[in-house]
Structures are given as structure tokens and as C-alpha cells.
């Protein structure tokens, strides 16, 4: 299906990612329906998006008229049937649980028209694991947005062996239409590209720290000064939540069984102590 045939978009799941992805779609001019099981999640989404768009107006990133038009195109519902009726593209952003996503994909397959593209925003689940629960594996792919989607300008568009070139091309053009840089991954790989690079850096940083080559603060300093990264690996762990990396690592270790994929000891200690980073006031650094 070509991009010009995409008129209606549905986003499933209205959490941290889903509500902002839906806003991007409506700002991009698409009739957008967002669905969540929880009315509360939808209410919160509406409130947060109002605040966000008002800030954009203050910063002159958007006009009041554009904001009103975008909200007029954005519809919220707890009914999956209503949300996806006649949708041309569905972006799934529900909880990161394989069985839940499989159920959603299987339901979607029976509800949407034949031409509809089904995308998942999952960070760790490759689309082929969901495509097998549909009758349209050529129209299934990952569209991996970054947090927060209203700020981060990158979407990893990931093809499985069965995703058609046309589907990938349409997804890339769709990213362009919503003001995001879509980048193609021609094969599936766990963690995709950005998170794998991030993973590699933090793994090496933890090794250097744990082996006593340098203090974590100095490793952060070198990363910023010498490599011009805006933030060091330990600061980043604190920002995104030390537990998030830990559980991601645990999942990888469970999949591969390879001891080198096990979370680092120092990370495990922090998770056990409840020092998870900025959100708990203490992680690698003290924020109290």
C-alpha cells in the first residue's frame, strides 16, 4: 500500500509512548484513533497532551489553530473495534509482553481491512514473532519510536524476512509525513541498532569500572569530553532507570543463556538496594 492510501491511523495503547505517537500522527494530518483498555490512561493522555501542546504554543512551535485541528483529528476510545475500523495503519504500543501483543495482533488481523499495515513499537520483540499470529506477514513490521516520541526524531523501521519492500517504504514515508526520521533495518536483530550501541557502551563502561580502571564519574567525564557524548553512560543509566537496563539484560540472558549477557554485578546490587537512578533519588549519583 502506498503512502497516499493512508488516511486513518490507529494507535493501540495510550501509555508513555502510545499517546505521543498518536499526537504525532494527528499533527501530521492523519485522522488518528487511540485505544487503551483503561479509560484512566486515555484521560491522562488527553491531559498530558494538552499541557505539551500548550508549551509548544508558548515556544511558537505550533499555532493555536494547528493545535485545535490536531485535537479535532485525535479520537480516544476503549473499544478496539471502533479504533481500528477502516484503519490503514495500526501502530501497537501496549505493554511489553509477548502474549499480550500476540493477542492484540491476532484480534487486529480479524478487524482491519486486508490492505492495512500492522506495526509494533516494541523495543525488544521482533515483528516476525507477532506476524505469525496474522494472515498478513508481508504487511507487518516494527516502527520503533524513541522516548519521548514528541521530542526524539528517530524511528527504526525493521523488516522481517516476510515484510514486503512496499510496506517498509510506506512506513518510511509515513515517518517523514509525521516529521520523524525513519531509518530502515533490513533484517531483524534483538535490540535493533540504537539500543544495541547503547548496550555495548554501557557494558564496556561497567566492565572498566568494575575492574577498577577508573571511577564511574571519570568514565562519564571521558565519554563527554573525548567522545562529545552529551551524557555519560552512568548518568544515562540513572536517567532511564537502572532497573530498565537490568530487566532488559535479564531478558536477553534468558533468551541466549550466554553468561556474558548477564547484568553486571554493580547494576544488580543497585537494583536490589532500590537505588534505581533519578526516579528514586539515588543511583550512580545522589540526587537528594
Binding site for ligand NAD (CB under 6 A): 12-18, 35-38, 41, 93-96, 100, 104, 121-123, 145-147
Looking at beta carbons only, is 41 or 159 nearer to ligand NAD? 41
Looking at beta carbons only, is 93 or 117 nearer to ligand NAD? 93
Minimum CB–partner distance for residue 218 and ligand NAD (Å): 28
**3-state DSSP assignment of residue 265:** helix
Minimum CB–partner distance for residue 75 and ligand NAD (Å): 15
Count of CB atoms situated within 10 Å of the CB of 211? 8
Q: Find the Cα–Cα–Cα–Cα dihedral 141, 146, 152, 153, rounded to 10°.
A: -20
Q: Which single residue brings its beta carbon nearest to ligand NAD?
A: 15
Please confirm whether the linkage preceding 148 is cis (ω < 30° from 0).
yes
Minimum CB–partner distance for residue 92 and ligand NAD (Å): 8
Q: Which residue has the cell 547484568?
A: 263
Q: CA-to-CA distance for 29 and 41, rounded, in angstroms?
A: 23
Minimum CB–partner distance for residue 213 and ligand NAD (Å): 30
Looking at beta carbons only, is 54 or 79 nearer to ligand NAD? 79
User: What are the residue numbers of the active site?
Assistant: 123, 144, 156, 195
Q: What share of the chain is helix, strand, coil (3-state, %, to 5)?
A: 50, 15, 35
Looking at beta carbons only, is 46 or 66 nearer to ligand NAD? 46
How many residues can be counted in the chain? 288
Amino acid at each position: 500500500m502506498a503512502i497516499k492510501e493512508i488516511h486513518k491511523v490507529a494507535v493501540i495503547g495510550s501509555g508513555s509512548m502510545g499517546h505521543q505517537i498518536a499526537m504525532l500522527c494527528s499533527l501530521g494530518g492523519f485522522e488518528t484513533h487511540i485505544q487503551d483498555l483503561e479509560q484512566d490512561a486515555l484521560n491522562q493522555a488527553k491531559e498530558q497532551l494538552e499541557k505539551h501542546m500548550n508549551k509548544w504554543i508558548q515556544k511558537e512551535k505550533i499555532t493555536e489553530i494547528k493545535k485545535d485541528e490536531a485535537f479535532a483529528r485525535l479520537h480516544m476510545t476503549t473499544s478496539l473495534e471502533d479504533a481500528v475500523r477502516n484503519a490503514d495503519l495500526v501502530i501497537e504500543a501496549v505493554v511489553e509482553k509477548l502474549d499480550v501483543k500476540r493477542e492484540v495482533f491476532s484480534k487486529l488481523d480479524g478487524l482491519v481491512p486486508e490492505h492495512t499495515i500492522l506495526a509494533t513499537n516494541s523495543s525488544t520483540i521482533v515483528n516476525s514473532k507477532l506476524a505469525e499470529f496474522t494472515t498478513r506477514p508481508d504487511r507487518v513490521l516494527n516502527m520503533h519510536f524513541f522516548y519521548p516520541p514528541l521530542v526524539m526524531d528517530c524511528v527504526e523501521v525493521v523488516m522481517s524476512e516476510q515484510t514486503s519492500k512496499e510496506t517498509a517504504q510506506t512506513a518510511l514515508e509515513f515517518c517523514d509525513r509525521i516529521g520523524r526520521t525513519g531509518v530502515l533495518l533490513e533484517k531483524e536483530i534483538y535490540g535493533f541498532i540504537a539500543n544495541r550501541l547503547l548496550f555495548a557502551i554501557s557494558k564496556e563502561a561497567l566492565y572498566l569500572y568494575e575492574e577498577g580502571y577508573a571511577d564511574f564519574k571519570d568514565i562519564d567525564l571521558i565519554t563527554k569530553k573525548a567522545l562529545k557524548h552529551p551524557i555519560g553512560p552512568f548518568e544515562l543509566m540513572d536517567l532511564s532507570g537502572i532497573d530498565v537496563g537490568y530487566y532488559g539484560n535479564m531478558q536477553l540472558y534468558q533468551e541466549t543463556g550466554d553468561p556474558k549477557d548477564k547484568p553486571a554485578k554493580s547494576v544488580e546490587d543497585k537494583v536490589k538496594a532500590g537505588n534505581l537512578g533519578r526516579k528514586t533519588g539515588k543511583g550512580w549519583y545522589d540526587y537528594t
